[in-house]
C-alpha cells in the first residue's frame, strides 16, 4: 500500500491573494472524499510569516470528517503553534520542518538547528499529551543552495537524534528540487535500512520534467509514503525567491496505478478534485 499525503497547505501558503475561508473549506471537503491517507490541510504559524494560513482554525471548523478515513495534519513551527493545534481533536498529526541546513532553519523558523531540536522535544511532549503524532520533515535533506555542509552522515546524525526522541515518521524533504535519482537512491539505501521501525516518506519539490525519476527511484528503494499537491501548485516560500513546484499528485496517482500499486485513491473523486483546484488557485 502506498500512502499519498495531499498537501493543499503547501500549495496555498505562498499565494499572496487571500483565498477565502469558505473556498478553502469546500476544497478540503472535496479532498477528504478522495481516499488520501492524510491531508496536510493548514498550519498554526505566525500570520505575519504565512498570511495565507491565518484562518486555519476557522477552516477546520468547516470540515466534515463524518465519511472519511483521511487523517489531518497541521504544520507548526514552535511550542505556541503546537499548543494551539493540540486543542483540536480533529487533528491527527502535527508536522514540524526540521532543517539540516543551519541557514534554512534560521530562515524558516527563526531558530538554530540545536534550538530546533529543543522545539521538537517540546512539540513531541505536546503530541503525547494530546494523543497526536509528530511528523518531522528533514528539510534540505538532499542538499541546499547555501553552501551548508550536506552528506549522508549528516542526515543520519540528525535522524538518530530524532529517533531517540521518539519520532516515528520522518519525511526526507527535497525542499528546493535538487534531489537526483542518485541522491535519492543513496539516502534511501543508506538511511532507511538502519531504522526498520521508522516510517520514512518523501516530500519532493520538483520541476515538471523531473518528477517521475524521483518518485520511481524512491519507490524502488522502499519508500511507501509520498507527499504531493494537485497540479504541482506551491512550494516553500522560505526556501528561495522563485518557487520550485510541489510534486504533482496526479502524476503520482496515475504512475502508481499504472505499476499496480494500491493508493486507496478514488479516481473519479480525484478527477473532480483536480478540476476544482483550477477554480481554487488564483494563478
Residue 67: pLDDT band with limits 50, 70, 90: very high
Cα(235)–Cα(283) distance, rounded to whole angstroms? 14
What CATH number corresponds to the domain at position 169? 3.20.20.70
Contact 225, 234 (CB under 8 A): no
Reply yes or no on whether the pLDDT at 81 is more than 50.
yes
Other CB atoms within 10 A of residue 209 CB: 7
Cα(108)–Cα(98) distance, rounded to whole angstroms? 9
pLDDT in tens, 2-44: 999 999 999 999 899 999 999 999 999 999 999 999 999 999 9
Reply yes or no on whether the pLDDT at 134 is more than 90.
yes
Mean pLDDT, residues 76-101 taken together:
97
**Phi/psi of residue 250, nearest 5 degrees:** -65, -35
Averaged pLDDT of the chain: 94
Residue 70: pLDDT band with limits 50, 70, 90: very high
pLDDT at position 175 = 80
> What are the cell numbers at 33?
472524499
Other CB atoms within 10 A of residue 64 CB: 11
Residue 147 burial class via C-beta count within 10 angstroms: exposed 0-12, middle 13-18, buried 19 and up? exposed
Cα(219)–Cα(260) distance, rounded to whole angstroms? 12
C-alpha closest to that of 235 among 184, 279, 176: 176
Cα(100)–Cα(114) distance, rounded to whole angstroms? 10
Reply yes or no on whether the pLDDT at 73 is more than 50.
yes
Mean pLDDT, residues 147-170 taken together:
96
Cα(266)–Cα(277) distance, rounded to whole angstroms? 16
Cα(225)–Cα(100) distance, rounded to whole angstroms? 21
Reply yes or no on whether the pLDDT at 237 is more than 50.
no
Counting the structural domains of the chain, the total is 1
Q: Residue 190's domain spans which residues?
A: 3-280
Amino acid at each position: 500500500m502506498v500512502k499519498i499525503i495531499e498537501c493543499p497547505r503547501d500549495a496555498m501558503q505562498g499565494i499572496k491573494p487571500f483565498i477565502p475561508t469558505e473556498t478553502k473549506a469546500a476544497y478540503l471537503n472535496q479532498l477528504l472524499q478522495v481516499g488520501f491517507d492524510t491531508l496536510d490541510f493548514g498550519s498554526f504559524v505566525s500570520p505575519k510569516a504565512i498570511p495565507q494560513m491565518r484562518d486555519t482554525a476557522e477552516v477546520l471548523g468547516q470540515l466534515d470528517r463524518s465519511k472519511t478515513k483521511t487523517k489531518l495534519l497541521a504544520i507548526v513551527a514552535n511550542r505556541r503553534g503546537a499548543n494551539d493545534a493540540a486543542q483540536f481533536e480533529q487533528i491527527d498529526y502535527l508536522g514540524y520542518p526540521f532543517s539540516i541546513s543551519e541557514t534554512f532553519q534560521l530562515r524558516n523558523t527563526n531558530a538554530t538547528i540545536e534550538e530546533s531540536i529543543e522545539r521538537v522535544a517540546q512539540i513531541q511532549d505536546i503530541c503525547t499529551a494530546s494523543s497526536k503524532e509528530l511528523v518531522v520533515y528533514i528539510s534540505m535533506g538532499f542538499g541546499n543552495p547555501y553552501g551548508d555542509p550536506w552528506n549522508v552522515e549528516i542526515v543520519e546524525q540528525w535522524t538518530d537524534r530524532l529517533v531517540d526522541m521518539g519520532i516515528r515518521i520522518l519525511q526526507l524533504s527535497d525542499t528546493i528540487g535538487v534531489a537526483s535519482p542518485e541522491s535519492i537512491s543513496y539516502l534511501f539505501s543508506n538511511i532507511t535500512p538502519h531504522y526498520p521501525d521508522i516510517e520514512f516518506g518523501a516530500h519532493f519539490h520538483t520541476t515538471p520534467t523531473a518528477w517521475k525519476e524521483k518518485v520511481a527511484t524512491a519507490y524502488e528503494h522502499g519508500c511507501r509514503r509520498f507527499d504531493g499537491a494537485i497540479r504541482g501548485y506551491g512550494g516553500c516560500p522560505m526556501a528561495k525567491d522563485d518557487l520550485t513546484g510541489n510534486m504533482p499528485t496526479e502524476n503520482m496517482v496515475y504512475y502508481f496505478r499504472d505499476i499496480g500499486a494500491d493508493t486507496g485513491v478514488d479516481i473519479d473523486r480525484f478527477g473532480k478534485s483536480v478540476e476544482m483546484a483550477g477554480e481554487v488557485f488564483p494563478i
